[in-house]
Amino acid sequence: MKVGIFYNDIILESRLTFVLDFIENHPLNNNVEFTVNQKQERNIFYGKGNTDFHFNVPRQNKIFSSKDKCEFTSNLYKQSDTLLYSVESVVRNDQEFLEDKQFSFDIFETLFFHLSRIEEINLNPLHLNNRGQINENQLLVIKNKIEKIPHVDHIVKAFIEILTGSSIFVPTKFMVTHDIDFIEKYKSIKSFFRFMARAIFKGEPVKEIINQYRKVRRDITDDPYNTFSELLLERTGIEKRIYFLMGGNHKYDNTYSIKHPSFLEALSLSKERGYEIGIHPSYESWTTKEMIIKEKSRLERCLNEEIFKSRQHFLHFDISKTPEVLLEAGIVEDSSLGFTQYIGFRCGTGFPYYLFDFNKESKSELLEVPLVFMDSAAINESKTSSTPLEEMTKAFQLTNMHNTQICYNFHNSRMDTSIAEGRLIRRIYRELFL
């Protein structure tokens, strides 16, 4: 089905084009194509009400007509049994999504807001955390407590259903990924004492750490971070990625030998079990292509093949700089846009899509696979919200069983059985995928 989109003047036309292209290629849309200012079997006027068209979408004129920053809120709309959330500059009471062929809010600007990450451009220094990134509490979806819902996917679904008259009901797709920050827990006796001190500081029992260390030193058990035989799935029919940290000199980085037996085992199992292997660029690489190229080349030499996929360490990502840096380093797919303190949909969608390049005002060539559920983020949210980890995870799963994609990230180092949360993460992982 072809749908004509009509409008008069619109200054930043590339942003509307970006959104229409996204909807056309969305996995929940299998037969709607758009044309601009050309009559089709269904026609939409983007602007103030016009009775000559099948539908009208109101123009907000905040994101597509100006590069100035604007404060937004999120209002609730209903379409059948689906709840939809807008991005608007005014507060409204709950309304229907469609009334008398009039859509109730600017769908296109709302989608662009989430997908482009425009709220992360030219950040207010007061809203930055100690890593120079936006404090996640300042993001619209977090402030409105709606980050657990894929708003973009829900809006696209409702929009396509109205245009076609057919309902959409697709099981959620899952992707499994792993970040390999550490290969071993006990590098030396210093490592042992450091973990002992950390446990004492947190008021945790130290007996398990002592017993664990003794067994590792005596070669009775593997190092607790060597969980690869269980971590790396043998299941087929599911997309799988693994990202290796290959360098960096920041305090948040970690280096390990590419000749270490555990690294070689992880690499071998990854290939054997059908994982796509990517680079985990170091903490300070987010604005420096030379660092990414160096680390990427190191991994490529180990694999004897090129690397095209990545996820930034600590999700250290600048939406206006990092995409270009990655592309220049030969990366074509990234998976860094997620939360470090919450589980949920930072981009409003769980499906892969091409980012928007604000420097060129056009669609980027970098494909983003939004990160939706990370083990460390789930642990952080569980602690701050006082919600049991397993209960929170199950509630999130039940809420998102259909019409989106969930990219999971589990670390080998988070499955340490000497720590209560490590045992929990291991159990959650087993219930999800094993």
Per-residue pLDDT of the chain (434 residues; tens, 9 = 90+): 999 999 988 889 999 999 999 999 999 998 999 999 999 999 999 998 777 899 999 999 999 987 778 899 999 999 998 999 999 999 999 899 999 999 999 999 999 999 999 999 988 887 888 888 889 999 999 999 999 999 999 999 999 999 999 999 999 999 999 999 999 999 999 999 999 998 899 888 899 899 999 999 998 889 999 999 999 999 999 999 999 999 999 999 998 999 999 999 999 999 999 999 999 999 999 999 999 999 999 999 999 999 999 999 999 999 999 999 999 999 999 999 999 999 999 999 999 999 999 999 999 999 999 999 999 999 999 999 999 999 999 999 999 999 999 999 999 999 998 888 999 999 999 999 98
CB 414 within 8 A of CB 376: yes
SS3 for 247? coil
SS3 for 367? strand
Please give the Cα distance from 239 to 177 (Å, whole number). Answer: 8
Q: Biggest alpha carbon distance in the chain?
A: 81
Please give the Cα distance from 242 to 276 (Å, whole number). Answer: 6
Q: What is the pLDDT of residue 164?
A: 96
DSSP conformational letter for 317? -
φ/ψ of residue 56, rounded to 5? -125, 135
Q: What is the pLDDT of residue 220?
A: 87
Residue ranges of the alpha helices (H) in 183-260? 189-202, 207-217, 228-231
Q: What is the pLDDT of residue 122?
A: 82
Instruction: Just give the CATH number of 173-185+223-433.
Output: 3.20.20.370
CB 307 within 8 A of CB 277: yes
The DSSP bridge partners found for residue 59 are: none
DSSP conformational letter for 275? P
Nearest by Cα to 245 from 275, 261, 216, 266: 266
